[in-house]
């Protein structure tokens, strides 16, 4: 995406207007403050700087600019956030002709899907043809209020030609049959895809209808039918109920994933609103990534049969790859699925979700279930446990479950770990990779790559800026650059700051970015890695009296010069200490002349350190 488009968007949109649509902001000095929308709090810790066009939460330590705010509040990636803000700002993004045609086709499909959803809703609630659908909802315990909230509808048989929806969209929506087919609503001949089925719209997080899932009545097959792949609908990324769950996900940061459409409706009926379904398919890595944008923890609540267990087992590996913490809610044996459980005992379902246990603990219990005293039986159980252990990416977690498994099998934990790692090394070597650097990768699943923010070639600090902050003088240098990027050039070009002297890589990257910013522009926080961005955002909203409009310029110059001196001094001390360490490490057999030379050199280094300029 063109950099000038990002700059144009930021020039047209004020951060107070963007954030103010989601947060009630109040002026506090030079900042605006409010309750953070990303974590629960009673005292405002969320700050917005209109001057720097930046935001930062002192509670959850998230921060950035308008792009990162939209990413988090909408649960989308950077390209989608760019599109949303470009649409709001009236900025046209550069695309090739093919991409532009695909975008237009996607928008048309969404438009026709919306018309189709209204058509299906009308049939369900207003026509005799929808009576079968209403009866099915009543049988499943879904009341009208809940069904209408999810926009459940009914697709009629459509007469002999089976084209009721197609005729409606052509006559009332001005659509061509080719457009109806491209949206996945009908075949090329105009015969409707969904006929005599209860229909569930599948929407994105903003409520735009991407496609549908249709549930057959009676013994008709297939029992469930989904929209085919279209410009708007992709089965591997679609999550049913995401639009209805978004607010609860934002508040709780926990997602419950179930298998079916009725499971989602049942969960809402039981008071569990942070729930989504995988839209009639096994959970995919793409879906896990979307869930991870909205939640820090996922609870897997699949059917209680063998297929449901296999689905949960596979989903655990996907969550591990995406570094998403997971728990498994095990269905009681007397219930087939969440829908059935809610109809029998809504409170019990909510308790099952809240009592979900860590994923590896549940899988370990399944691997050791029903073992007896026989040697062969215990050996096979040991193999299952070892296979499970080698899927656990974190070494400490693996060790804890190795001890738990060893107690169950009455063997040593060391033998289980050794067995697991032996198989990992064998598998890695077979793939031609180092057995050392791949020990912690789950077998059978692609190894995760570091998450890099769009527009950045560096993953940033991660959370290092919280646990290991830069030296105070370096923080001030970064703050000056974050709030007035032009000062970065002054610091390096005129005041002699050597960026290689900086102890903090994050501060170095912030200053390097600030030096590249055109005069008069704000620091583009979205161009930094996640950790660097949090640090720069925190420093952007820091009050610095020397940067006030009525401040004495001499005071600012004096403060910057002092920080540059402190940086040089710290760098000089660091070099001296490293040389001293090297001299001590190089000592060998007794050699008076050499030892005296080393001692003299150490005394000179210590003296230079003491005499380093302030």
Instruction: Report yes or no on whether pTM surpasses 0.95.
Output: no
Q: How sure is the predictor about 96, in pLDDT bands with cuts at 50, 70 and 90?
A: very low
Could you give the percent of the chain with pLDDT greater than 70?
Answer: 82
**The pLDDT value given to residue 446:** 30
pLDDT for position 413:
57
Question: CB 96: neighbour CB atoms within 10 A?
Answer: 8
Cβ contacts of residue 87 below 8 Å, gap of 6+? none
Asked whether the beta carbons of 6 and 67 are under 8 A apart, the reply is yes
Top mean pLDDT of 92-96, 309-313, 595-599, 602-606 is at 309-313
Would you tell me how many other CB atoms lie within 10 Å of the CB of residue 614?
6
Q: Give 357's strand partners.
A: 328
> Cα–Cα distance between 165 and 441 in angstroms, integer?
49
According to CATH, the superfamily of the domain at 3-89 is: Zinc finger, CHC2-typedomain (3.90.580.10)
Q: What are the residues whose beta carbons fall under 8 Å from the beta carbon of 532, sequence distance 6 or more?
A: 458, 460, 461, 465, 506, 509, 510
Would the pLDDT of 94 be above 90? no
Question: Pick the residue with more confidence: 588 or 148?
Answer: 148
Enumerate residues 6+ apart whose C-beta is below 8 A from 386. 416, 419, 420, 423
Instruction: Give every CB contact of residue 53 below 8 A, 6+ residues apart in sequence.
Output: 10, 14, 15, 65, 66, 522
Structural domain boundaries in the chain: 3-89, 100-232, 235-367, 368-453, 464-600
Secondary structure, 3-state, 269-335: HCCCCCEEECCCCCCCHHHHHHHHHHCCEEEECCCCCHHHHHHHHHHHHHHHHCCCEEEECCCCCCC
pLDDT for res 156: 96
| Cβ 260 vs Cβ 140: under 8 Å | no
Degrees, nearest 5: CA angle 139-270-72: 120
For residue 542 the two structure tokens come to: 């820091």
- Could you tell me the fold of the domain covering 235-367? Dna Topoisomerase Vi A Subunit; Chain: A, domain 2 (3.40.1360)
Q: At what angle do helices 413-430 and 395-409 cross, to 10 degrees?
A: 130
Phi and psi at residue 289, to the nearest 5°: -60, -40
Domain boundaries 464-600, corresponding CATH code:
1.10.860
Which helix (H) or strand (E) segment holds residue 212: the answer is strand 209-216
Question: Of the candidates 457, 460, 455, 450, which has an alpha carbon nearest to the alpha carbon of residue 532?
Answer: 460
d(CA 169, CA 167): 6
* CA nearest neighbour of 196 among 215, 182, 219, 171: 215
Peptide bond into 10 cis (omega under 30): no
CA 543/CA 310 separation, integer angstroms: 54
CB atoms within 10 A of CB 544: 16
Closest CA to 483 of 431, 541, 440, 530: 541
Query: How far is the C-alpha of 20 from the C-alpha of 235, rounded, in Å?
Result: 34
Check whether 340 has a pLDDT greater than 60. Answer: yes
Instruction: Report the Cα 45 to chain-centroid distance in Å.
Output: 22
- Nearest C-alpha neighbor of 237 from the set 183, 273, 276, 200: 276
Is residue 420 over pLDDT 80? no
Relative to beta strand 153-155, strand 224-226 is unpaired
Residue pair 238/210 in contact by the 8 Å Cβ criterion: yes
Do the Cβ atoms of 209 and 114 come closer than 8 Å?
Answer: yes
Q: What size, in residues, is the chain?
A: 614
Q: Write down the pLDDT at residue 327.
A: 96
At residue 607 the predicted structure's pLDDT band, cuts being 50, 70 and 90, is low
pLDDT on residue 585: 64
Mean pLDDT of the chain: 84
CA distance 449 to 152: 39
Closest CA to 250 of 80, 66, 69, 86: 69
- Measured between its terminal Cα atoms, the distance across the chain in Å is 46
Instruction: Say which residue the tokens 């009332």 belong to.
Output: 172
How far apart CA 211 and CA 117 sit, in angstroms, is 9
Q: Measured between alpha carbons, how far is 366 from 384 in angstroms, rounded to an integer?
A: 10
How far, in whole angstroms, is CA 373 from its chain's centroid? 45
pLDDT digits (tens, 9 = 90+) for 512-539: 999 998 888 889 898 888 889 999 999 9
In the chain, DSSP finds a helix count (H) and a strand count (E) of 26, 14
What pLDDT, on the 0 to 100 scale, is given for residue 46?
A: 95
Residue 134 has φ and ψ, to the nearest 5°, of -65, -40
Mean pLDDT, range 275-300, rounded to an integer = 89
Question: Strand ranges (DSSP E) for 7-113?
Answer: 26-28, 31-34, 46-49, 54-57, 63-64
Query: Given this model, what pLDDT does residue 19 score?
Result: 94
CA dihedral (506, 537, 88, 70) positive or negative: positive
Query: Tens digits of per-residue pLDDT, 122-134?
Result: 999 999 999 999 9
Grade residue 117 by pLDDT with cuts at 50, 70 and 90.
very high
The enclosing H or E element of 197 equals strand 197-203
Average pLDDT rounded to a whole number, residues 297-316 = 93
Q: Is the pLDDT of residue 502 over 80?
A: yes
Strands 325-328 and 357-358: antiparallel
Give pLDDT, residue 379: 82
What band does 443 get if pLDDT is binned at 50, 70 and 90?
A: very low
Three-class DSSP category at 254: strand
Placement of tokens 């005071």 in the chain: 555
> Could you count the other beta carbons within 10 Å of the beta carbon of residue 295?
24
pLDDT at position 587 is 58
CB 57 within 8 Å of CB 63: yes
- Which pLDDT score, from 0 to 100, does residue 456 have? 36
pLDDT of 408 reads 82
> pLDDT for 207-261, tens place per residue?
999 999 999 998 888 999 999 999 899 999 899 999 999 989 988 889 999 999 9
- CATH (one of 2.60.40.10, 3.90.980.10, 1.10.287.3510, 3.30.413.10) for 100-232: 3.90.980.10
Q: β-strands 254-258, 297-300: how paired? A: parallel
Q: Quick check: 154 and 101 in contact, CB under 8 A?
A: no
* pLDDT per position as a tens digit, 342-374: 999 999 999 999 999 999 999 999 998 877 677
pLDDT at 571 over 80: yes
> CA-CA distances (angstroms) from residue 335 to 188, 312, 331, 544, 604?
42, 17, 7, 61, 79
């Amino acid at each position: 995406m063109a950099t000038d488009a990002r700059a144009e968007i930021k020039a047209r949109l004020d951060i107070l207007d963007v954030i103010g649509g989601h947060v009630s902001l109040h002026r506090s000095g030079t900042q605006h403050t409010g309750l953070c929308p990303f974590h629960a709090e009673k005292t405002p810790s969320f700050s917005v700087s209109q001057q720097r066009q930046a935001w930062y939460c002192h509670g959850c330590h998230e921060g950035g600019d308008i792009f990162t705010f939209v990413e988090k509040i909408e649960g989308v990636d950077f390209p989608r956030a760019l599109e949303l803000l470009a649409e709001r700002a009236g900025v046209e993004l550069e695309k090739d002709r093919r991409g532009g045609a695909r975008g237009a086709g996607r928008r048309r499909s969404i438009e026709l899907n919306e018309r189709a959803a209204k058509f299906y809703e009308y049939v369900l609630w207003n026509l005799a043809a929808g009576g079968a659908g209403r009866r099915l909802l009543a049988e499943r315990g879904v009341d009208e209020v809940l069904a209408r909230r999810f926009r459940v509808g009914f697709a009629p048989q459509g007469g002999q030609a089976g084209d009721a929806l197609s005729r409606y969209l052509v006559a009332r929506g001005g659509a061509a049959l080719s457009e109806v087919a491209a949206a996945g609503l009908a075949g090329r001949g105009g015969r409707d895809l969904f006929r005599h089925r209860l229909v569930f719209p599948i929407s994105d997080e903003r409520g735009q209808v991407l496609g549908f899932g249709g549930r057959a009545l009676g013994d008709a097959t297939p029992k469930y039918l989904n929209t085919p792949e279209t410009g708007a609908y992709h089965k591997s990324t679609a999550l049913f109920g995401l639009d209805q769950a978004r607010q609860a996900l934002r508040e709780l940061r926990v997602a419950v994933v179930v298998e079916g459409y009725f499971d989602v409706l049942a969960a809402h009926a039981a008071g569990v609103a942070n729930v989504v379904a995988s839209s009639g398919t096994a959970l995919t890595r793409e879906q896990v990534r979307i869930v991870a944008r909205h939640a820090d923890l996922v609870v897997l609540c699949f059917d209680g049969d063998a297929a449901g267990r296999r689905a949960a087992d596979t989903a655990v590996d996907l969550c591990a790859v995406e570094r998403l913490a997971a728990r498994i809610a095990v269905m009681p044996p007397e219930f087939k699925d969440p829908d059935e459980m809610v109809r029998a005992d809504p409170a019990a379902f909510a308790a099952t979700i809240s009592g979900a246990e860590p994923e590896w603990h549940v899988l370990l219990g399944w691997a050791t279930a029903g073992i007896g005293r026989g040697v062969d039986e215990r050996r096979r159980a040991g193999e299952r446990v070892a296979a499970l252990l080698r899927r656990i990416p974190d070494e400490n977690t693996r060790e804890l479950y190795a001890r738990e498994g060893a107690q169950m099998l009455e063997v040593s934990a060391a033998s289980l770990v050794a067995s697991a790692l032996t198989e990992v090394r064998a598998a890695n070597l077979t793939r031609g990779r180092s057995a050392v650097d791949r020990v912690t990768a789950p077998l059978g699943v692609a190894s995760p790559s570091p998450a890099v923010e769009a527009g950045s070639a560096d993953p940033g600090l991660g959370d290092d800026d919280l646990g290991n902050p830069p030296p105070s003088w370096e923080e001030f240098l970064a703050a000056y650059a974050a709030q007035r990027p032009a000062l970065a050039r002054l610091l390096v070009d005129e005041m002699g700051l050597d960026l290689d002297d900086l102890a903090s890589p994050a501060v170095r990257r912030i200053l390097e970015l600030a030096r590249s910013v055109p005069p008069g522009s704000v620091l583009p926080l979205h161009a930094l890695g996640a950790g660097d961005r949090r640090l720069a955002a925190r420093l952007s909203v820091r009050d610095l009296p020397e940067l006030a409009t009525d401040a004495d310029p001499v005071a600012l110059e004096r403060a910057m010069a002092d920080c540059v001196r402190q940086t040089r001094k710290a760098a000089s001390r660091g070099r001296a200490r490293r040389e001293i360490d090297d001299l001590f490490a190089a000592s060998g057999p007794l050699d008076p002349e050499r030892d005296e030379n080393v001692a003299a050199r150490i005394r000179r280094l210590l003296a230079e350190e003491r005499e380093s300029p302030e």
